[in-house]
Amino acid sequence: MHSSTTRTLVCETQSMCAATVELHVNVLTRNYVKTAFGGSLSAMTDPYFFMLVMHQLGRDYVVWDTRGEIEMLKPGRGVLTAHFHVPSEQAAALRERAKGGAKVLEWFETEITDAAGDVVARVRREVYVREKRRVTDAAAG
């Protein structure tokens, strides 16, 4: 991520995690027409849902960011902000569905807004979750 990106990750407890990311549109993060470059918007949203899920599920689960979609709604200028939150109930449901090594794909959504609060883009990120195989399980099978 560019040095012009501000990241705030808040995990007050294992069950309450949120993140806020700001992107400062400048010469490093803008496109030819001087608005936010789509690649910069993708980079600012890339790791957060998967990190929040990983934090809540713990070391017994494999968690990956598998793909993302961005719907551009208006040109992004100035400081852009995205908020990320994974409710503990959603993480618990993922944990349950992924038990026994089942592969689970889950979509998460957020919006990128400008300083006026206008929505610049809608972002969807798909996260993969699977319970890790235990060493004893692998040796037995």
Instruction: Supply the pTM of this predicted model.
Output: 0.83
CATH match of 5-140 with 3.10.129.10 = yes
Hey, where are the domains in the chain? 5-140
One digit per residue, pLDDT tens: the chain, 141 residues?
A: 445 555 555 555 555 678 888 999 999 889 999 999 999 999 999 889 999 999 999 999 999 999 999 999 999 999 999 999 999 999 999 999 999 999 999 999 999 999 999 999 999 999 999 999 874 455 555
**DSSP letters spanning 38-79:** HHHHHHHHTTHHHHHHHHHH-TTEEEEEEEEEEEE-S---SE
Is residue 8 classed exposed, middle or buried when 0-12, 13-18 and 19+ CB atoms within 10 A define those classes?
A: exposed
121: nearest Cα among 110, 130, 105: 110
